[in-house]
Structure 1
């Protein structure tokens, strides 16, 4: 009250001086405040552009296999050079004619909007530039309040001070909402026209440019009349701006537009268990958080071979047809790199997302024997080492417990068999005797060399695969044999880039020589015996039922327990593991149940490698080939009815000739010459 009294009593000159003084203070404060705001914006630097974008997964051939987005919002970032020029011109013409000239704000539009708001007594008209709209899309809500406007202005200043006009325009066109869950021009072009953003006609471009003003009201799918009126306004604006000629605008107006309404591709149906494994790798190994996956617009390039994946799924679907409850898992990898080419974790992802290929642990049965026999090679065994196969009861170290393993269907040779036969026929007695002779702790140590990380126990039955392992784990371990003794880790992801193509991660391949190259090759040769009926004895080789389907050199081993059926094998360029069984551990009784894994493996390997080069396993220099009689593992003679080429490390090959079928004339001559040489040297030494 006192202030107004003093003002009332003041002279005219005093009032003028007072107004000038406080006017200057107010103006100076405004200028200083504005300068301070500019300095603050400059000091804070460029704002982080956290734009929600769709993350895309790609197969090894570049095809898209999956997407990760937020709440069914489709967002793709494309560079400005890949956006049609008509889209750019139409957007600037209708949204912000002075975009290239102003510094984030258009004073004339702001003045006009303020006047309209004052007349209406409410916030009714917008004057936002493209820069302001981009700031709003990035950082703020869309509520119409003065507080939000001030925040928007500050973000706009930061954008304009830190980014070029092209960068701002690119960001705006990639974030603006075009309706129907489509954010950004690329997503809109795909949804409405089934095209990319750089392949639009003038009619299509101007129709899309009109949608952001009211995505529902101006959607040509919901309200084609409204959309056409908005398009006419845009075309007229472009003519007035000198961007197009009137005749061109009339042609675009008459253009018949076809809306494809391209729904989100059902890419989740492509290798869903493989995608699950990729997601686990992203989170657990590469430490990429959920927000980055849902909002980051990443491009994730995987190792999946779409053809091999299709063969795997087709094979499983067509080989298991009589049993709805039985489950399966398949993993196929390139043993040279670790790249996972195909993966199936169950028969139906929608019914059960439990990924048996990487989550389940099951007893591997006789597929564990190759690790035992590699250990035996390290301790003096050769493929010809004989051990008697007969019913045997083993007394344990406590002097009380007994262990009595059995062969399949209680069949035994009741005679000596070689290690080559023991592996091919899957003789359990030979395996347990070998494990006990070497010491079970050695097998545990060897398995760890191959990359088996599941808990194991130094027990006699470990030789028969009594401890559970994973399908991926076991398949990768077999890859060590195929890769000449080198171990690689399973690879699902080769590269990750951001939305602008910047490489965020690139796989660096490496391998470790964990076992001897020569012995690895000898083991590979032993596992080819799984399919070689020359090794038949008291029973057939375990791969005899599928040998007829194989058309190239392959090595492998089957295995079974009362509840599990396995087949793991490889060529030089592909190693595959297959498991079949019931989730609840139900026993496998049906002959089909126990044979599924072999048939799936054989059909998959042949289908996956169709039209691929037929490669032979590389023979190291330290290995020699010898022709033997497979019944006793000795050098074959002309009298042996069956012979087989077998491989040995140099210095371990057999030197004795087979005498089971009589001595051939050729061998007699060699023996005679040897005796003559001995006699000659004996006479010299005697003299």
Structure 2
């Protein structure tokens, strides 16, 4: 009986087991596909939405928008949220392909998105508590990277997500299975591998293999060696853990694991592996890609501000749509400009520092060289970011503000001999950085308005302010050509003569007359032409010309030729008292070189979308400002500065003008403010207009003596060195040349043949000469 009972019990359990097997079989055959289908259609919103087929074929990625020079050189690392520059499969090279296959998915070419063998291996490892690696294919990892299946916003969650941890993982994995199969149906294997390498992160702000290869090894992906490719492929097991710059030993270990897998699958010979495995990772070319690296850093930042708005107006995202932006900058000329700034400013700064030390004075002085004792505390500190942040945090009267301003901390600071690691307080840092003189430099093609070089300061990493477009300062004598151009336009020959003597002008509506002084506060008494007076920047004669032509006409002239800043019709503007930017000055001088037609300087030539379709092309903004005759006469007058005036260093020091052989025509003008806080210089040729400004961050930072800070000494060397390099580079196609003389020029300009030419009319009634006062 007992045996019969046991037999009945065994039969009962056999039936139960059979039913369980059948139920499991039915569930496996019917239920699992039904589950997969439910996830794919998000049944009852239990699982969350999957990307549509349209999204699958056009996955959204943040692609880097790249700037290119006119000669095809990439400028910096571009504009990005994720520093990502996509590559095609052909651009990967075999080493990267083989390293990824060996490390992640050796059956990639044979499966359809899901590797069943790997899945069973993983499942068996879990059941036996002996994990044997991951089972995700390259396609599954791509699905996870592209569509962020495991990073879901609350409004994107299904009803079951976020409830049960194990269930969440199953849902996420299921989504990746479905998407990987769909990816395999939508793309070729080569496209999937390229997309994978384009989507993964490598640390150091490098997204995608092209950025990673550039960042860590300074190479294109196809140029990577086997060990280098193994380093980058191996990082995907843990980017931070295996980053070669911060964890070199871990990265080396992981690299060797990948290379051993390459040996296993016959991608690498054993003897080659034995040699390579002992080598350290070479990071001699490592350079984090950021906006402090590469050419034209100031220019790139200024271009970014305009491009962000321009791209938005065109319906694009500058930081994510992978635009190709072609600029007018020439990489060779930009390089020469930066070299010229470094060379010239090193010497100018040395002179300034040595005089500061010799004079034993504070940094801030007034126009007479007297120290401004409270300037730092009253003006510099309150305007600083450090002070404002502390006040916002602790309150203006809190002792904490003063405590933290004086607290020493580790800093890396700029010097002309290289960066210095030091201890400084915020106040120390303010004083230290204020001692550096700054500069701005720009060069354009006057015939097209295309900007060819742009340097906004001495070092973008440490001094972000751009002095080309935003650093408006008084131009001094640089403004005088607009006064003389007005006179020429009114019919006054450049050969008309004046006497250099003290002058006092009664200004309507003012109690005090205007009595401008010459640069060195003395008058020669010499009779000289307008041409010579402009070349020598004689204030007394410029003032007399201003009184003849009237301030309203000069203000109008400045605006017509390209000065955008407000220039009120005051007599004093003749001497450059109103602030202007270098950018607008170069554009205005370009009007003379472009035969009287003003072209607004520009730097964006055209823009293409990520597919290469042109979405924008610049249309030059032109306007007839002055006649061709007036423009040529002004060029002729500006040449006198390079021959006998303050710009003669272009010939004697830099050899740009051969006065004897007349091999080149260059017009030039210097500008220096009264207290020598601003030094300017502009040179004009037929094919190039180049100019520079030099001065302190504050107007109270300047040389004590006017001659030391004059534009011919501070700014001209930048322009001279730049043009020397440009002329020496035959690949640029810029040669020494002559201005085009109008065929029917109706005014005498050869002033050497005349002692004096009568003025068309005399309007000097309100000028009081010094001799007449007594």
Q: Which moved more, 1:464-473 or 1:433-442?
A: 433-442
Q: TM-score, normalised by structure 1?
A: 0.75
Matched, 1:342 2:480: no
Name the residue aligned to 1:263.
286
Residue number among 79, 83, 88 corresponding to 1:79 in the alignment: 88
1:183-233 deviation digits (Å, cap 9, x = unpaired):
544455556665432234566656654453355677784244554344323
Cα 1:598/1:83, change in 2 over 3 Å: closer
Matched, 1:606 2:628: no
Matched, 1:592 2:614: no
Name the residue aligned to 2:270.
250
Name the residue aligned to 2:343.
314
Larger-gyration structure (1/2): 1
Cα 1:235/1:601, change in 2 over 3 Å: closer
Cα 1:205/1:328, change in 2 over 3 Å: closer
Counterpart secondary structure, 2:76: strand
Residue number among 484, 506, 514 corresponding to 1:373 in the alignment: 484
**CA distance in 2 between partners of 1:357 and 1:422 (Å):** 28
Alignment of 1:661-680 (within 5 A): none
**CA distance in 2 between partners of 1:19 and 1:81 (Å):** 50
**CA distance in 2 between partners of 1:270 and 1:152 (Å):** 42
How many angstroms does 1:484 deviate by?
A: 1.7
Judge conservation of contact 1:472–1:577 (CA < 8 Å) in 2.
no
Counterpart secondary structure, 1:567: strand
1:76-116 deviation digits (Å, cap 9, x = unpaired):
43211111234324534553355445543345544554454
Name the residue aligned to 2:548.
437
Matched, 1:46 2:56: yes
Judge conservation of contact 1:282–1:288 (CA < 8 Å) in 2.
no
Judge conservation of contact 1:69–1:294 (CA < 8 Å) in 2.
yes
Residue number among 615, 625, 629 corresponding to 2:752 in the alignment: 629
Counterpart secondary structure, 2:669: strand
How many angstroms does 1:553 deviate by?
A: 1.8
**CA distance in 2 between partners of 1:386 and 1:229 (Å):** 86
How many angstroms does 1:127 deviate by?
A: 2.5
Matched, 1:469 2:584: no
**CA distance in 1 between partners of 2:455 and 2:237 (Å):** 47
1:476-522 deviation digits (Å, cap 9, x = unpaired):
21111112223233333445566776666555556444332221111
Q: Which moved more, 1:144-153 or 1:454-463?
A: 144-153
Matched, 1:517 2:645: no
Alignment of 1:65-104 (within 5 A): 66-67=76-77, 75-92=84-101, 94-100=103-109, 102-104=111-113
How many angstroms does 1:362 deviate by?
A: 1.0
Counterpart secondary structure, 1:332: strand
Gaps of 5+ in 1: 1-11, 534-540, 636-651, 653-687
**CA distance in 2 between partners of 1:256 and 1:27 (Å):** 47
Cα 1:260/1:299, change in 2 over 3 Å: farther
Judge conservation of contact 2:235–2:242 (CA < 8 Å) in 1.
yes
**CA distance in 1 between partners of 2:304 and 2:646 (Å):** 37
Counterpart secondary structure, 1:393: strand
Cα 1:255/1:59, change in 2 over 3 Å: farther
1:22-75 deviation digits (Å, cap 9, x = unpaired):
98996896586477469975565436544456665555555555225779x865
How many angstroms does 1:134 deviate by?
A: 0.8
How many angstroms does 1:617 deviate by?
A: 1.0
**CA distance in 1 between partners of 2:36 and 2:216 (Å):** 48
The number of residue pairs the alignment matches comes to 604
How many angstroms does 1:161 deviate by?
A: 5.3
Judge conservation of contact 1:389–1:415 (CA < 8 Å) in 2.
yes
Cα 1:478/1:70, change in 2 over 3 Å: closer
Counterpart secondary structure, 1:46: helix
Counterpart secondary structure, 1:515: coil
Cα 1:310/1:300, change in 2 over 3 Å: farther
Name the residue aligned to 2:304.
279
Name the residue aligned to 1:676.
none
How many angstroms does 1:555 deviate by?
A: 0.5
Q: Which moved more, 1:136-145 or 1:365-374?
A: 136-145
How many angstroms does 1:615 deviate by?
A: 0.9
**CA distance in 2 between partners of 1:585 and 1:55 (Å):** 38
Name the residue aligned to 2:159.
none
**CA distance in 2 between partners of 1:40 and 1:70 (Å):** 27
Q: Which moved more, 1:407-416 or 1:460-469?
A: 407-416
Matched, 1:235 2:263: yes
Name the residue aligned to 1:645.
none
Q: Report the RMSD for the aligned CA atoms in angstroms.
A: 4.3
Counterpart secondary structure, 1:559: strand
